[in-house]
Structure 1
C-alpha cells in the first residue's frame, strides 16, 4: 500500500474530513487531496513523523522504502535530487510492470539502484565542487 492510500485509510478510520486533517497538520486541504491521490508526499522525515503522530501510527508504516529514498534525496540534494530519485523509481517500476521478476528480486534491484544513485551523487559532489568550497569545508 502506498503512502496516499495509507493516509486516506487513517483519515477515514478517524472519521475526519480532509479539511479537519489539513487544519490539524497546518497545511492546506489541497495538499491532503494530493497526498491521497498519490500526486504528492511529504518532503521531509519530520513531516512524515508529524503525520504519523497525528494518526497515532508508526512512521515506518507510512514510509515505503521508495518513499524514504525520495525523501532522503530531497533532504540532501533539494528539489533536483528529489526529482531524479522519483524518476529513477518511476523508470524502474515501468520495467517491472511486466511481472517477470519476483517481488524479492525487484526489491534487490531497486536497492542496488538506490545504492548506485547515492554513490554517483557522492562522486559528483567531490568531482564538481570547486576547490575553494572544499577548503572551507575542511576548515570548519
Structure 2
C-alpha cells in the first residue's frame, strides 16, 4: 500500500475533509489532493512525522521502503539526490513490471541497489569534495 493510499484511508476513516486535514497540518488543500493522488510526497521525515502524529499512526506505517529511501536521499543530497533516488526506484519498478520475481526477491534487489546508491554517493562526496570543505566537514 502506497503513502497516497494510506493517507487517504486515514483521512476517510476519521471522516475528515481534505480542507480540514490541510488546515490541521498547515498546508494547502491542493497539497492534500497531490498526496492522495500519489503525485507528491512529503519532503522530509519530519513532515511524515507530523502527518503520522495527526492521524495517530506510526510514521513507519506511512512510509514504504522505497519512499523512505527517496526521503533519505532528499534530506541528505537535496533535490538532485531526491530525483536520482526516485529515478532509480521508478526504473527498477519498471523492470519488475510483469516479471516473475517473487516479492521477497524484488525487495532484495531493491535493497541491494539502494546500498549501491548510498555507497556511490559516499565515494563521490569523498572524491569530488574540495579539501577545504572536507576539513570543515570533519570538524562538524
Are 2:104 and 1:104 equivalent residues in the alignment?
yes
The alpha-carbon deviation at position 43 of structure 1 amounts to: 1.0
Cα–Cα, structure 1 residues 139 and 10, in superposed 2: closer, same or farther, change >3 Å? closer
Moved over 4 A (4+): none
The alpha-carbon deviation at position 6 of structure 1 amounts to: 0.3
The CA deviation string for residues 65-116 of structure 1, in whole angstroms up to 9 with x for no partner, is 0010000000000000000000000000000002210000000000000000
Cα–Cα, structure 1 residues 55 and 139, in superposed 2: closer, same or farther, change >3 Å? closer
SS in structure 1 opposite 2:54? helix
The CA deviation string for residues 49-77 of structure 1, in whole angstroms up to 9 with x for no partner, is 11011001111110110010000000000
The CA deviation string for residues 27-47 of structure 1, in whole angstroms up to 9 with x for no partner, is 001110000000011111111
Paired position in structure 2 for 1:38: 38
1:1-140 equivalence runs, <5 A: 1-140=1-140
The alpha-carbon deviation at position 139 of structure 1 amounts to: 4.1
* Worse-matched range after superposition: 107-116 or 40-49: 40-49
SS in structure 2 opposite 1:42? coil
Separation of aligned partners in 2, 1:137 and 1:109: 32
Root mean square deviation, CA, Å: 0.9
TM-score by length of 1: 0.97
Separation of aligned partners in 2, 1:24 and 1:46: 15
TM-score by length of 2: 0.97
Separation of aligned partners in 2, 1:139 and 1:54: 38
Matched residue pairs, number?
Answer: 140
The alpha-carbon deviation at position 133 of structure 1 amounts to: 1.0
